[in-house]
Amino acid sequence: MELTRPFNVFFGSVGRKVLPLFREINQMSRLINDIFYWTVVSPLTGKRIRWKAAISEAVKAGYNSIPIVAVISLFVGIIMALQSAYQLKKVGAMIYVANLVGVSITRELGPILTAIIVSGRSGSAYAAEIGSMKVAEEIDALKTMGINPIRFLVVPKLIALVVMLPALTIIADFIGILGGFLLSITILELHPINYIQQTENALMIKDVITGLVKAGAFAVVITAVGAFEGFKVEGGAEEVGRRTTASVVLSIFLVIAFDCFFTALFYFFT
């Protein structure tokens, strides 16, 4: 009896930590299932998609993020060029700055920086919006009007992000490379034509495509996490704040985890 006690305490506390996690994973997968149903299946049965709402979400999440995405990717392009030059200078291969900047921006930094910015701007806004609607019984009101809250609120957001996140990523790619280019032709004194040619040779269409595929997946992650945390709100306003913060942390975590997974996948299979 006494001997098994430490084991009971240990497994008991592990169980108390792990079981809720399983429950959350279960709830999350049910939510993703519902989102998929209302985005893909139900429109086939004649239920309308709220395109107007999707466009206004696209303006909020996409168009309004252009300035911040542009500025950050310009800086990151410059940083990448400087950091690469720091090493390449030693072996006298400065022109390869173009390769490093081009490949790392399109394959990695463009998609992930954009996703992190959008998690912070839009993912948190989704959690806050849905959470405060839950507190004000607006979600219940939608249900009693026979309007599914996922179709009404989440599907337009998902459509908006799935289109806008890859679009923002293209902008980030372009401006990031521009940043590297501007730094290289001034401070590093590389010839502009050489730099452009080198970038063209280094970049394969596949690099850009894999980046955009990632961006699409990140869009699903950010929308699902924002909605998940928002719908979980039960209490009052202070819980909305807590869930909003949690949604940013969780979606940045999941974006990076998925990125790791995709990068490994693309490394081995392309």
Partner 1 sequence: MENAIEVRNLRTHYGNIEILKGISLNVPKGLITAILGGSGCGKSTLLKHLIGLLKPTEGNIIINGRDIAGMNERDMDEVRKKIGVLFQGAALLNSMTVGDNVALPLREHTRLEGSTIQIMVRMKLDLVGLSGFDKFYPSQLSGGMKKRAGLARALAMDPEILFFDEPSAGLDPITAAGIDELILRLKDIFRITIIVVTHELASLFRIADHVIMLDRGEKVFEGELDELRASDNPRIRCFLERQAEEREYTPEDYFRIIAGD
Interacting residues with partner 1 (CB under 8 A): 133, 136-138, 140-147
Between CA 229 and CA 247 the distance in angstroms is 6
- Of the two residues 40 and 141, which places its CB atom closer to partner 1 in the complex? 141
- The radius of gyration of the chain from alpha carbons, rounded to an integer in Å, stands at 23
Min dist. Cβ of residue 8 to partner 1 (A):
22
Rounded to a whole number of angstroms, the minimum distance from the CB of residue 49 to partner 1 is: 12
Cβ at position 237, least distance to partner 1 in Å = 13
Cβ closer to partner 1: 133 or 188?
A: 133
In terms of CB distance, is 149 or 211 closer to partner 1?
A: 149
| Minimum CB distance to partner 1, residue 134 (Å) | 11
Residue 56 CA: distances (Å) to CA of 52, 53, 196: 6, 5, 37
Which of 53/95 has CB closer to partner 1? 53
What is the rounded distance in angstroms from the CA atom of residue 99 to the CA atom of residue 80? Answer: 11
Exposure b/e, 222-238, CB count within 10 A at least 16 = b: bbbbbbbbbbbbeeeee
CB of 39 to partner 1, least distance (A): 17
Determine contact, residues 158/219, Cβ cutoff 8 Å.
yes
Place of tokens 């173009």: 98
Q: Which is nearer to partner 1, 19 or 136 (CB)?
A: 136
Question: What is the Cα–Cα distance from 121 to 182, expressed in whole angstroms?
Answer: 28
